[in-house]
Homo-oligomer: A and B are copies of this chain.
């Protein structure tokens, strides 16, 4: 091979920040953000983000320092997606539904120097900042006289130079399958390419009006803060995901795209405000396949659903059920069956693999199950300060290391993936991933509990709900309500079981709990 060629006109780093740099020039006068009565053009959004970078720089933030943000989907949370990395910092957007303990753990693990906190979450933010062992600068956001606004107004524009596209852009903590959340490291390069893939595969363009139903704290909103900006579309902020507010936005603001958990779609379809959208709306959903009935109802409402699959570790959706025009003529049932599949790797990734226990690719026969492996520029750098966890998630394959998703699926003959099970024992309820082991540990910490097992039961609204099976110590009479309150005192509210059944747990001869028996019971109540 000849010696390396040096580009005469580069190298130009891949960074999602460049999308705002460009939008500020080429879409400067277009509407970037609508957040209630607060609106910004792209020129204005860019100016504010650079001033936010300046304000953070003024606090003494050094390159690579972490900045946590605790906020619903406001313009401020959007701005931190540009302003924090522009300051040279690393963005850590926090799940607002977590408990104080969980939030304090994450901020402590990330050693964030700053916490931007929305007005509505200020008590939480203050309590968390107190619990963290190191000093955290709390900056309140969410209203015109806030500290956040005053700092921006007082700051000069700043833009830290980027000399390595592999450098850390953000940290997104997983729900954790071993009790503690892990910090997933996103690189500038990966987020740039994933955003590009989202533009291409969601059909974003300058006509896009994107409604922020998906929380930006989930995988940085699947990189849509950057993707929508890339095409000069409009971000519609939304503090609370309520079906009436979504229908109002569709009706009044010409929404073209949003991303939402199946739960939200179910609520939308059955809401009294439901009426066919004035423009076709493209919706991406993950977590669970929408039912044929729901799909038909949404189609009547001019809502077109695409099914996706991804993980925090893959910058959001790495897999998309890419719809083929040759399927348009199939009947509704067949179309729903195809739409229920997770699909194929997006443009930024290598074709996904499904492998057996020996790491061999399973045949694409729609029957043989195996673990789903992913690789590509939209796979994380690794887990933050946790090389062991990174190693455990790694398996060697063609081209190098592949990421083990822990999910079990089959490949159909056209190489479209369909998930069958989750190896890691995760329950998805209302779009949130919940590790059953974490809930079991919380239950087991109650003095009256011998042991417990948590499984997901199908639910028409939430996708799945948590059902716990608990064995109490002899003569103990703790109630289900007591145990639920106990879990809520330790974990985020959404992690508490909805139902508890008491009794012996079914076990193998070696004493391992047979979760499949419990799952069967909750799927088919007659087996109880």
Contacts and interface: CB of A to CB of B under 8 A. Distances in A.
Most chain B CB inside 10 Å of its own CB: which residue of A26, A399, A402: A26
Contacts of A168: 2, 5
B166 A28 contact: no
A9 B344 contact: no
Interface string A401-441: 11100000000001110000000000000000000000000
A275 interface: no
Given A22-B350, A344-B26, A351-B22, A9 B322 contact: no
Given A26-B415, A200-B199, A351-B22, A394 B8 contact: yes
Given A25-B351, A167-B1, A206-B323, A377 B8 contact: no
A438 B386 CA distance: 63
A158 to B, nearest CB: 15
A414 B30 CA distance: 10
Contact of A4 (B10, B166, B416): B166
A366 interface: no
Interface string A329-360: 00000000000000011010011000000000
A206 B322 contact: yes
Contacts of A164: 1, 4
A4 B344 contact: no
A400 B414 CA distance: 46
Given A26-B344, A381-B8, A382-B7, A350 B200 contact: no
A4 B22 CA distance: 27
A163 B1 contact: yes
A325 interface: yes
Query: How many copies of this protein are present in the complex?
Result: 2
Interface in A367-400: 375-377, 379-382, 390, 394, 399-400
A229 B185 CA distance: 31
A351 B196 CA distance: 17
A302 interface: no
Nearest to A164: B4
Nearest to A90: B2
Given A5-B168, A63-B1, A207-B325, A415 B25 contact: yes
Contacts of A98: none
Contacts of A345: 22, 26
A64 to B, nearest CB: 5
Interface string A1-23: 11011111111101000110110
Contact of A196 (B1, B6, B200, B206): B200
A447 interface: no
A400 B9 contact: yes
Interface residues of A, number: 68
Interface string A111-153: 0000000000000000000000000000000000000000000
A5 B167 CA distance: 6
A203 interface: yes
A200 B231 contact: yes
Contacts of A377: 10-12, 14
Contacts of A26: 322, 344-345, 351, 414-416
Instruction: Please classify the interface of chain A as helix (H, G, I), strand (E, B), loop, or mixed, using the class held by over half of its residues.
Output: loop
A100 interface: no
B187 A7 contact: yes
A512 interface: no
Interface string A24-43: 01101110000000000000
B196 A28 contact: no
Contacts of A344: 25-26
Contacts of A472: none
A205 interface: yes
Contacts of A390: 8
Contact of A29 (B2, B375, B414): B414
Contacts of A230: 200, 347
A527 interface: no
A299 to B, nearest CB: 18
A324 interface: yes
Given A9-B394, A9-B403, A350-B12, A64 B1 contact: yes
Given A1-B163, A1-B164, 5 more contacts: A2-B64, A5-B167, A7-B166, A8-B394, A26-B414
Across chains A and B, which 3 residue pairs bring their CB atoms closest together, nearest first? A8-B382, A26-B344, A25-B351
19 contacts: A4-B167, A7-B381, A7-B382, A8-B390, A9-B376, A9-B394, A9-B402, A10-B376, A11-B166, A12-B350, A19-B347, A22-B347, A22-B351, A25-B344, A25-B351, A26-B414, A196-B200, A200-B230, A206-B324
Interface of A: 1-2, 4-12, 14, 18-19, 21-22, 25-26, 28-30, 63-64, 163-164, 166-168, 185, 187, 196, 199-200, 203-207, 230-232, 322-326, 344-345, 347, 350-351, 375-377, 379-382, 390, 394, 399-403, 414-416
